[in-house]
Amino acid sequence: MGNFAEKHPKAAQWIREGGLFLIFSYVVTFLKWGLLTFLPGLFHGLVGDVAWAWPGLDVKLFGVPLTLAVIGNSLADGGLAFTLANFTSIIIGECINFPLQRNVTFRSKGPVLPQILCHFAGALGVFFVMNLFTCIWNPVTAALKAPDWLRNIGTTVVTGGVSMVIIFAIDKTIFAPGFGKKKGEA
């Protein structure tokens, strides 16, 4: 690899960063799956049976009634408890993922506050996309009688994939040398 890195430094950098990014992302994805196995029950114990969905459009897909929402879930899809569990797993995962990606993968020395804010905005984007996905995924897989653990694996794998694409693009930008500096600033 040393000879390759000397001949193709940019490609070697992409391979190193992409490989580490994937490894850390898969570890965090596994953690999120673990959290999704118990957090919905924990939050259900705290908030009970509460539907919370915005905009909450009732539709049918494959003959299965579902409620589309960018934020929240219908009661049949876990309601507020599942929404809080999903959001909590994403936030905890990114609190672990961010320092690993910043300090190990990209070795960034840039301004941490703007990096955190941009990374958080990306995580929020992932949450919105994935919430809409789960509004479809959960009712359809429930109608197919898939067990919760299998549905959570599907949710986590898709969340991991979406997260990797969105967060990698953001991280590649915010952890680049010169991020946060004005033009001409050293």
pLDDT of residue 108: 95
Polymer length of the chain: 186
The closest alpha carbon to 170, from 9, 71, 25, belongs to 25
Task: Looking at mean pLDDT, say which of 73-77, 94-98, 126-130, 182-186 comes out highest.
Answer: 94-98
For the chain, what is the domain count?
1
At 98, the pLDDT band (50, 70, 90 cuts) reads very high
181 part of a folded domain: no
* Residue range of the domain that includes 30: 2-174
Amino acid at 24: F
The closest alpha carbon to 121, from 174, 161, 75, 62, belongs to 174
Give the tens place of pLDDT for each residue, 113-123.
999 999 999 98
Q: Per the confidence metrics, is the pTM higher than 0.75?
A: yes
pLDDT of residue 46: 97
180 part of a folded domain: no
76 part of a folded domain: yes
Give the tens place of pLDDT for each residue, 151-162.
878 887 887 788
d(CA 32, CA 34): 5
186 part of a folded domain: no
Tokens standing for residue 25: 């992302």
184 part of a folded domain: no
d(CA 93, CA 143): 29
